[in-house]
Amino acid sequence: MFRCRLALALGKFLWEVDELMPLPELHEWMWFDERSPIGDIRGDIQAGTVAAIIANVNRKKGAKPYSATDFVPKFGRPKQQSDDEIESKIMSWASAIGAKDAE
């Protein structure tokens, strides 16, 4: 997955990254990516930070604070949830924003 993000960021095809980039340089890019993410995830984290700030200043007193990761898209196959879990999450969200019928 990292190679795909790197190729996208560099405007290269995967075969170009594989054939033209020496392995030590690829390892340096991987090290750099761990400290300063390459690609769309960085923007997702920045947007999540803004969304968390807005949600936290508007949350109900005593409600659990949001973090940036609460608003970052999660990719992959979602975990199957029961109806009770879904209802619990909806009620928790409604309570956090102070919805009148959340109780």
pLDDT tens for 85-94 read 888 888 887 7
Q: Looking at the predicted structure, is the pLDDT value of residue 4 above 60? A: yes
Q: What does the alpha-carbon distance between residue 91 and residue 77 come to, in Å, rounded to a whole number?
A: 24
> Who contacts 31 (Cβ-Cβ below 8 Å, separation ≥6)?
none
Helices and strands counted in the chain (H then E): 5, 0
Percentage of residues of the chain with pLDDT beyond 90:
40
Q: How far is CA 46 from CA 16, 40, 54, 67, in A?
A: 30, 10, 13, 11
State the pLDDT at residue 101.
63
Which of 43-52, 60-69, 92-101 shows the lowest per-residue confidence on average (mean pLDDT)?
92-101
Q: What does the alpha-carbon distance between residue 40 and residue 6 come to, in Å, rounded to a whole number?
A: 11
